[in-house]
Chains A and B, each alone.
Chain A
């Protein structure tokens, strides 16, 4: 079995980035508006980052284009090193899927754009990085800001969805490793989040955040194949949908919704101005909810039932999984760093049957869950920490996990954002603001 050392790979990247932390905060001192460069440099700590990046810049071939010294003409600036650089160079765990037939656990990594596969029994109490048995990454893999994960034990394939940076689902085999080409890709609507497989129906279902939709494709769909049906519209109750489970036993599609809704219209640079938009419906914020739709639903179809309300404690619910043996739904509740377990047939404003939450649990910003009925375990992928934590299936309350899987050494911080596209500077608090 091939082995990969995450720590070594990240350390290589650190050489370029210069990630030695400097003091995080200092009160902004008085500085004249016309302060000299020397004064500005002296005012703050400028560490080795600048030197490292300047050296890297010197090694770059000047191939023309914007990298050329000749462009832009007469401009000041050029290839300039930053004085500070904030970045998390380790993977994060986002989606998770467990294959109990082949004893593997698959995670998506939004931060470093990779897929990590572990032995099902991996992890423990070590403070060190847990080594994956398989790690797919690199430009051929076409992994962008990926989210949900699905596994097909029979075909020994695993799936993930590019939420941004590619608009496609990619499928890999258990034999793939390193900079591997996907076995197949399927183009998806922008902001697709989760994927769930229905092996008997031979279908896959996809949630789409911005369209408030579920699109269903044939399992082997590839290229630009179209969905065979789509659930979308005001009546559906789908609102910023994330986690999805295709329950073939009960012919239901179960979806975790954040509650944000807008009547989105075409917005890309390739779409004309749309003037005939029909009746305008304004944006709305509703409570988070779990919706249940008929598996054959198509179009603007209301849910069969909904779990929603104060008693549920739902707060930015992300990934979900369903235990068809014990009739339970597990929800990764990002907003309060908990996992909430509901009865599969629950509806309305109901309390969860169990909640795993508290400092002992080490659940921090969970993005997905997976129930392993065969081995009586519950997996939780933490985005807010460099860990996944494994509990007994029936765990409840503020309890310690059985095992911890680490993708970075213990206590490695996370920046807490990915795919950021804006910033602001708070001059009063001397802070940099970044929306996620």
Chain B
């Protein structure tokens, strides 16, 4: 946890870590519940979602842990919290699913709803948020063959194998290797962090087994798969969309350039009151002050 005004090479104000926390050193998502003052975090390597007091520090156990056979969780990657409807949502790329639990769920509990199946188009789900005002769930998911790489919008109460009501993706969108997605509650604007415009490369192994037929590409100097490639034509960005956007469209607003490249854009968080956008990636984070991004978009671009 860092002070909002932290700048430069700064140590965190607080850290939650250690065996008793049940956290690991592999966590890809986080959500803050402002109403109940809690932090929600997925533990990919423990098949669990943990909830901590927001003021926790040091080696403290979680308030609640969602884990067990009824949960069906495998490798939860990202989380969102809906404090209005009292729900915690997680996306599990191994389940190929968005999974919804009661916000106060604790222990071995079954999900309330699961969005999964071929109609959903979901596969490698790496970003997730919920908008309780417009009643939608927004998921960022990737498929290696180029189909259905983008942002999926589902009805908040969707359940089972259902089609998304909106999908943003395609060549004009330049969406490829992205991660966290978040929603501005006032406008419904959707913010997405994209690390680069090159699709995530195929891994040589399927878990611990060599992938059949895998051929290594000729190694190039810029083959750093999980960060900005360093090429200007492939660099990462923060993309912003209107809540009703649909189809193969470019973003309404964008942050790009060397400010993003300092760390790469893997995560994005918002401070709507201060009109600040926080992007995180690699070994650092940056804060951008952009009031225009927190206004409703006009149909033809720009903001009202």
B is a partner of A: yes
What is A's interface to B at a CB cutoff of 8 Å? Answer: 16-26, 28, 31, 33, 35-37, 40-41, 43-47, 49, 53, 56-57, 60-67, 71-90, 111, 139-140, 142, 144-145, 164-167, 185, 187-191, 208-211, 213, 215, 223-224, 226-227, 230, 232, 240, 258-271, 273, 280-285, 287-288, 314-316, 335-336, 412-436
Q: Which of the 9-residue segments B130-138, B152-160, B220-228 touches chain A?
A: B220-228
Contacting pair A230 B208 (CB below 8 A): yes
Query: Could you say which of A90, A142, A188 contacts B223, with CB atoms under 8 Å apart?
Result: A142
CB distance from A210 to the nearest CB of B (A): 6
Contacting pair A435 B93 (CB below 8 A): no
Report the separation of the CA atoms of residues A256 and B46 in the bound assembly, to the nearest whole angstrom: 16
Q: Is the interface of B mostly helix, strand, loop or mixed?
A: loop
Q: How large is the interface on B (under 10, 10 to 19, 20 to 34, 35 or more residues)?
A: 35 or more
Q: Chain B residues with Cβ under 8 A from A417's Cβ?
A: 12, 283
Report the separation of the CA atoms of residues A314 and B19 in the bound assembly, to the nearest whole angstrom: 8
Q: Mark B5-18, 1 if CB is under 8 A from A, else 0.
A: 11111111111011
Contacting pair B230 A86 (CB below 8 A): no
Asked, given contacts A80-B290, A282-B71, A432-B269, whether A57 binds B257 with beta carbons under 8 Å apart, the answer is yes
CB within 8 Å of A: which of B11-63?
A: 11-15, 17-19, 22, 24-32, 34, 37, 39, 41, 43-48, 54-55, 59
Asked, given contacts A269-B200, A415-B11, A423-B267, whether A433 binds B30 with beta carbons under 8 Å apart, the answer is yes
Contacting pair A435 B235 (CB below 8 A): no
- B162 within 8 A of partner (CB): no
CB within 8 Å of A: which of B111-125?
A: 118, 123-124
Given A72-B251, A268-B144, A424-B31, 7 more A-B residue pairs with CB atoms under 8 Å apart are: A74-B302, A86-B2, A88-B9, A209-B26, A210-B45, A260-B43, A431-B4
Query: Could you say which of A26, A185, A419, A429 contacts B226, with CB atoms under 8 Å apart?
Result: A419
What are 12 A-B contacts defined by CB distance under 8 Å? A18-B8, A56-B258, A57-B257, A66-B197, A76-B252, A76-B254, A84-B6, A85-B8, A269-B149, A315-B18, A422-B180, A423-B285
Report the separation of the CA atoms of residues A49 and B48 in the bound assembly, to the nearest whole angstrom: 39
- B74 within 8 A of partner (CB): yes
What is B's interface to A at a CB cutoff of 8 Å? Answer: 1-15, 17-19, 22, 24-32, 34, 37, 39, 41, 43-48, 54-55, 59, 65, 67-69, 71-75, 77-78, 93-96, 108, 118, 123-124, 142-145, 149, 174, 179-180, 186, 197, 199-200, 202-208, 210, 214-216, 219, 221-227, 230-235, 237, 240, 250-259, 262-263, 266-271, 273-276, 278-293, 300-303
Query: Could you say which of B48, B199, B208, B262 contacts A211, with CB atoms under 8 Å apart?
Result: B208
Contacting pair B253 A77 (CB below 8 A): yes
Beta-carbon nearest neighbor of B141 in chain A = A269
Query: Could you say which of A21, A82, A431 contacts B10, with CB atoms under 8 Å apart?
Result: A21
Report the separation of the CA atoms of residues A288 and B4 in the bound assembly, to the nearest whole angstrom: 34
Query: Could you say which of A72, A85, A412 contacts B286, with CB atoms under 8 Å apart?
Result: A85
Q: Chain B residues with Cβ under 8 A from A428's Cβ?
A: 34, 37, 54
Contacting pair B203 A270 (CB below 8 A): yes
Contacting pair B285 A427 (CB below 8 A): no
Q: Chain A residues with Cβ under 8 A from B266's Cβ?
A: 420-422
Contacting pair A84 B7 (CB below 8 A): yes
Give the interface centre of B32, B123, B205, B230 by most chain A CB atoms within 10 Å: B205
Contacting pair B208 A232 (CB below 8 A): yes
Beta-carbon nearest neighbor of B286 in chain A = A82
Query: Could you say which of B74, B232, B253, B275 contacts A263, with CB atoms under 8 Å apart?
Result: B74
Report the separation of the CA atoms of residues A34 and B56 in the bound assembly, to the nearest whole angstrom: 32
CB distance from A35 to the nearest CB of B (A): 8
Asked, given contacts A67-B257, A210-B207, A260-B24, whether A423 binds B4 with beta carbons under 8 Å apart, the answer is no
Report the separation of the CA atoms of residues A234 and B38 in the bound assembly, to the nearest whole angstrom: 34
Contacting pair A188 B257 (CB below 8 A): no
Beta-carbon nearest neighbor of B271 in chain A = A425
Contacting pair B208 A215 (CB below 8 A): yes
Contacting pair A421 B293 (CB below 8 A): no
Contacting pair B34 A413 (CB below 8 A): no
Contacting pair B258 A76 (CB below 8 A): no
Asked, given contacts A43-B274, A57-B259, A283-B47, whether A87 binds B9 with beta carbons under 8 Å apart, the answer is yes
Report the separation of the CA atoms of residues A87 and B22 in the bound assembly, to the nearest whole angstrom: 27
Report the separation of the CA atoms of residues A74 and B242 in the bound assembly, to the nearest whole angstrom: 14
Pairs A-B, 8 closest by C-beta atoms: A283-B47, A65-B233, A87-B284, A74-B301, A79-B257, A72-B250, A270-B144, A82-B286
Contacting pair B256 A191 (CB below 8 A): no
Contacting pair A260 B45 (CB below 8 A): yes
Q: Chain B residues with Cβ under 8 A from A431's Cβ?
A: 1-4, 13-14
CB distance from B206 to the nearest CB of A (A): 5
Asked, given contacts A57-B259, A283-B48, whether A425 binds B251 with beta carbons under 8 Å apart, the answer is no
Report the separation of the CA atoms of residues A47 and B290 in the bound assembly, to the nearest whole angstrom: 16
Report the separation of the CA atoms of residues A326 and B25 in the bound assembly, to the nearest whole angstrom: 32
Give the interface centre of B69, B203, B255, B302 by most chain A CB atoms within 10 Å: B203
Contacting pair A264 B75 (CB below 8 A): yes
Q: Chain A residues with Cβ under 8 A from B29's Cβ?
A: 422, 435
Contacting pair B179 A421 (CB below 8 A): yes
Q: Chain B residues with Cβ under 8 A from A44's Cβ?
A: 5, 274
CB distance from B120 to the nearest CB of A (A): 10
Q: Chain A residues with Cβ under 8 A from B8's Cβ?
A: 17-22, 85-87
Report the separation of the CA atoms of residues A21 and B11 in the bound assembly, to the nearest whole angstrom: 11
Beta-carbon nearest neighbor of A193 in chain B = B25
Contacting pair B210 A67 (CB below 8 A): no
Asked, given contacts A25-B5, A67-B256, A215-B208, whether A76 binds B292 with beta carbons under 8 Å apart, the answer is yes
Report the separation of the CA atoms of residues A281 and B72 in the bound assembly, to the nearest whole angstrom: 9
Contacting pair A434 B280 (CB below 8 A): yes
Contacting pair A262 B5 (CB below 8 A): no
Contacting pair A165 B224 (CB below 8 A): yes
Q: Chain A residues with Cβ under 8 A from B74's Cβ?
A: 262-265, 283
Q: Chain A residues with Cβ under 8 A from B250's Cβ?
A: 71-73, 75
Q: Chain A residues with Cβ under 8 A from B225's Cβ?
A: 144, 165-167
Give the interface centre of A28, A211, A262 by most chain B CB atoms within 10 Å: A262
Q: Chain A residues with Cβ under 8 A from B251's Cβ?
A: 72, 75
Q: Chain A residues with Cβ under 8 A from B234's Cβ?
A: 65-66
Q: Chain B residues with Cβ under 8 A from A226's Cβ?
A: 210
Report the separation of the CA atoms of residues A95 and B75 in the bound assembly, to the nearest whole angstrom: 27
Contacting pair B30 A273 (CB below 8 A): no
Contacting pair B34 A267 (CB below 8 A): no
Asked, given contacts A139-B222, A283-B73, whether A87 binds B283 with beta carbons under 8 Å apart, the answer is yes
